[in-house]
Chain A
């Protein structure tokens, strides 16, 4: 038994069979099928279970609005939950599973929920799981999560790539139905840059689903011809399988292109999906309309679907959902379904038209039984429709046997994108629905059914007109296109939202299981605002965002409140228009590629040495260089730190920010951005400087070297390189625009190495070219200069020390960084030169009492850091005025101090809080440890930290509390300068 419901005709490639499985069973379909059309062709109507009651459900729509037919597509790592079978393009080998059912789709144990529907009404969770409170997390929620819900994840990493792209155009046309095609042809022939995007894999929209003619040609062939012409135009980009998800500011749109969802797996060099950012000078929304349901008892039976969908399945996919079908409509439009299916040989058992005025002469389009003024009052068949009960105009009831019922409650223009920039739709009585309001996203127009123009002739004409208006707005040439002849039939709706008769449940929102009764109950319980109604009943909050259900819910609410629907209003439409995979939003920025990784010039050298790396902002820095036999990182770090103090070490400090400051006013400028004075710094000298924020809190510190009268090089901490540069540009452009000074970041232009230790000079002297004297006399502490090394390579030398040793930082153009590092190692061999990483760097600077980001943490003032006197009172500088506020200088405030573990051994955890040993359990913290290390030089655990009145508490023993790990230790307060407080080493 295969494809028992396949009809003749359709837009399929019948020469090729495609095999696929659903819940393990094998079926066949053809290229051109969707999973939904192929399942229907094979007589499968039951495709899923509902979210809350586990009701059996079948496909309702033929598009992206589908609420019911959600499946898990594919297997293994590519398994994707909640895929709409209506938009899943069939391919050979496709595998799909139904979801939210156990043990099987036909018999679902949690179908028992349906029996308790009387208590599972609106707000059930809010009312029931209130008490006892503690039960929620441990008991209620896990059970509810298991019972309710949709598909499941594979729990494996997504193996596919996702891309992002950027496009620009004069006119973005959203939707390729009659209006969109006419618009794209108009703009394309006039030479404008056009993008035509449509979510379908075949362009044409409803033209592919209807039996009608355009200029005497079958509509779907006219569409194919139009697409073929557009493909020849170099100024038109056709984007199939592309959903425009959102309209953003200033003509920016997001669109998702499904590059490889229609095949089993993307080709190796193909992304699965691409998220496009489209910059459109003008846009035209031709997104069509979505048909809506009429709620009646058991209208969720598998086999009950939208009349337009039933017609699309028949005409485009050559499928009928049953051998006997009926139609329930309140418009002329619904009659097309009966006409088309009858023409294809399907037994149309009746058209139930709720309009009493509908007569065989006014509405009927063919020879089928017409029940005017009648309503469907019930649907039979648990796992699949077997018949409908109708109430005729004369009051009599009758049962019509059928396996499928097409329902047309009218069409709702797809206004979603018109509302993404605060626009609100307005009610239109003519079509009993909302149409786009006057306030549209910048540059947007609306044409065709999206604008409430439902006939093909109106769609074509409005598409042409809107495209011309868009081009005129851009001052582009617009030659009119003759409008093709097309269908211009009546619509003639008499609104019917739900059938009053019957006590059973009448379904509005199929995906979240919301009934007419739920909406009425919400109203009865005091919910009046539509936004509250939505959140209380969850109407329209499922993955379909209520595309087929929202208006029905609003109508029931309006009736209950005695207001019109226009007065009741709608909830807000927000992006995205259809669900988007997280992977598409991430694009390539996943895993290690989440952020760029910056490598220093000698990174590969460090790798060769077996360095362990640590992330520092975007940079990877060598953390330490383990040697054979070292089994613990502390061994390595201790060795590296001691080697620096004993002989010489080299550390890569390229990552420090470097800002080149030049101009006549360079010194005056630095005098403003640094709290301490820079105006009188002589050429050839460096100075340590601290920058404050305007609120007086320390921002960053570093050195500035004066290479010439009008030329400085400023260094910043690694993390603050960007922010400090931004700040300095702010000061330059916004505060002192009259100064002659220019800034540029040269962080990437220079590789820089710290050469530190008693033998630092001896090592460097081997590299420095003759003619450059770097003796202590010629090149004293804090000296700087431009030199050449290794036979003519230009370099900059700074005699600055972070470690407290005799030390230099030497900078060479980036491309020589690797070579310089290797040269330092070769030439340093006689001194047993030791490369050291950021850990040893940290140990050395803690021993010396130098602050870093741990201390300049955005909460500390210059006074707290013990640098209060550096803030000059003799000049203006950023932050100086407010740094003098009492609160930042209070004698009882915190002060940067050193701490020694009382037993010398136990690690003092950074982040610990400090208390007086006499403090009670209720006492407030008196400070904190900011940096801690084991000092191999001193042979004990030390730390830097901030302590209230620290300067007066030298020698005091304080409690170091680390409650996270249940630790309470003792430490002695000491000077933060653990080694060489007089600075003799660095001046040696």
Chain B
């Protein structure tokens, strides 16, 4: 696969390490009332869709950016690539 890196342009997927569902960005607050349940859901209850999926890729052999790649898992079509840091900051802003 070729992943269009927002800063570096098209890069071969071989340069990346895959982590999984981008929901891992949404880490629960440690002091929330139901923290144990929230962390359980955060860690174990992730989607594994056949189709569009937002997922985390680490450019380990490159600039060490974590990326959020929106990919169709059935066709490998890549629909969107964002810096995970931007996604995380936007989430902070929205919260």
Contacts and interface: CB of A to CB of B under 8 A. Distances in A.
A881 B66 contact: no
A676 to B, nearest CB: 15
Nearest to B1: A249
A737 B85 contact: yes
B79 interface: no
A733 B39 contact: no
A283 to B, nearest CB: 14
A734 B19 CA distance: 12
A737 B92 contact: yes
Contacts of B86: 737
Contacts of A695: 43
Given A726-B60, A733-B88, A737-B88, A885 B30 contact: no
Interface in B1-44: 1-2, 12-13, 17, 19, 24-25, 27-28, 30-31, 35-36, 39-40, 42-43
A885 B86 CA distance: 33
A882 B39 contact: yes
Given A250-B1, A422-B75, A881 B39 contact: yes
B56 interface: yes
Interface in B28-75: 28, 30-31, 35-36, 39-40, 42-43, 56, 58, 60, 64-66, 75
Given A881-B39, A885-B36, A738 B89 contact: yes
B: interface residue count bin: 35 or more
Contacts of A136: none
A964 B2 CA distance: 47
Contacts of A876: 30-31
Contacts, number: 71
B21 to A, nearest CB: 12
A734 B88 contact: yes
A279 interface: yes
A734 B24 contact: yes
A726 B17 contact: yes
A661 to B, nearest CB: 14
Which of B2, B83, B89 has the most C-beta atoms of chain A within 10 angstroms of its own C-beta?
Answer: B2
A729 interface: yes
Which of A250, A695, A735 has the most C-beta atoms of chain B within 10 angstroms of its own C-beta?
Answer: A250
Interface in A872-929: 876, 880-882, 884-885
B88 A735 contact: yes
Nearest to A694: B43
B89 A735 contact: no
B80 interface: no
A730 interface: yes
Interface string A260-282: 00000000000000000001000
A: interface residue count bin: 20 to 34
**A-side binding surface: helix, strand, loop or mixed?**
helix
B92 A738 contact: yes
A251 B85 contact: no
Interface in A50-105: none
Interface in A913-952: none
Contact of A734 (B1, B12, B60, B85): B85
Given A726-B60, A738-B92, A249 B76 contact: yes
B27 A735 contact: yes
B11 to A, nearest CB: 11
A252 interface: yes
A881 B56 contact: no
Given A250-B1, A252-B2, A734 B30 contact: no
Contacts of B76: 249-250
Given A726-B58, A729-B66, A881-B36, A735 B2 contact: no
Contacts of A737: 85-86, 88-89, 92
A722 B19 CA distance: 14
Which of B24, B58, B89 has the most C-beta atoms of chain A within 10 angstroms of its own C-beta?
Answer: B58
Interface in A228-280: 249-252, 279
A733 B85 contact: yes
A734 B2 contact: no
A249 B12 CA distance: 10
A733 B66 contact: yes
A385 to B, nearest CB: 49
A252 B30 CA distance: 45
B43 A251 contact: no
Nearest to A729: B64
A381 B43 CA distance: 71
Contact of B84 (A252, A734, A738, A880): A734
Interface in A184-224: none
A734 to B, nearest CB: 5
B50 to A, nearest CB: 13
A251 B30 contact: no
Interface string A697-741: 000000000000000000000000010001001100111011000
Given A250-B76, A885-B36, A734 B43 contact: no
Contacts of B25: 734-735
Contact of B39 (A422, A694, A729, A735): A694
Contact of A730 (B12, B13, B58): B58
Given A726-B58, A876-B30, A881 B35 contact: yes
Contacts of A250: 1-2, 76, 78
A251 B92 CA distance: 37
A251 B10 CA distance: 12
Contacts of B24: 730, 734
A881 B88 contact: no
Contact of B2 (A279, A421, A729, A733): A279
Nearest to B91: A737
B39 A734 contact: no
Nearest to B14: A277
Nearest to A166: B12
B85 A882 contact: no
Nearest to B17: A726
A726 B64 CA distance: 8
Contacts of A249: 1-2, 13, 76
B66 to A, nearest CB: 5
A881 B40 CA distance: 9
Nearest to B29: A876
A694 B35 CA distance: 13
Nearest to A885: B36
A880 B29 CA distance: 12
Contacts of A880: 30
A88 B35 CA distance: 68
Contact of A882 (B43, B58, B60, B83): B43
Contacts of A734: 24-25, 56, 66, 84-85, 87-88
Contacts of A738: 89, 92
A251 B87 CA distance: 29
Nearest to B65: A733
Nearest to A876: B30
A694 B84 CA distance: 19
A253 to B, nearest CB: 12
Contacts of B42: 694
B5 to A, nearest CB: 13
Contact of A884 (B2, B36, B43, B66): B36
Contacts of B43: 694-695, 882
A33 B66 CA distance: 55
B19 A730 contact: yes
A695 B24 CA distance: 13
Contacts of B85: 733-734, 737
A733 B65 CA distance: 8
A734 B89 CA distance: 8
6 contacts: A250-B76, A279-B2, A734-B66, A734-B84, A738-B89, A881-B30
Given A252-B2, A730-B58, 9 more contacts: A249-B2, A722-B60, A729-B58, A729-B66, A730-B66, A737-B86, A737-B92, A876-B30, A882-B43
Interface of B: 1-2, 12-13, 17, 19, 24-25, 27-28, 30-31, 35-36, 39-40, 42-43, 56, 58, 60, 64-66, 75-76, 78, 83-89, 92
A-B pairs, 5 with minimum CB distance: A876-B30, A250-B2, A737-B88, A733-B85, A249-B1
